[in-house]
Amino acid sequence: MDISDLIKMEQAAALGGVSIRTLQRQSADGRCPAPVRFGRDVFFKESEIRAWAAGYQRWERHAKKRSPMACGPKD
């Protein structure tokens, strides 16, 4: 393993455009690359995070079209 490819969890989360907690949750579930641990420090392989971030589907809060009646009737 090449240690020059390792980045800290904070950097990996920023690179992936997610929060640290989301990255922790997804790595625990196996939905993102596995971390490399050295004692208490957690690192990720930068190349794997870049590949994962390119295909990551972010949840869009307002992607669903709202009903015209959702805001009430128009006069």
What integer best gives the mean pLDDT of the chain? 82
The tally of domains found in the chain comes to 1
Token pair recorded at residue 55? 């295909």
- At a CB cut-off of 8 Å and minimum separation 6, what does 1 contact? 36
Which residue would you say has higher pLDDT here, 70 or 17?
17
- Does residue 18 lie in a domain region? yes
Does residue 49 sit in helix, strand or coil?
A: helix
**pLDDT tens column, 26-61:** 999 998 999 999 999 999 999 999 999 888 766 555
- Does residue 74 lie in a domain region? no
CATH of the domain at 44: 1.10.10.10
- pTM of the predicted protein model: 0.70
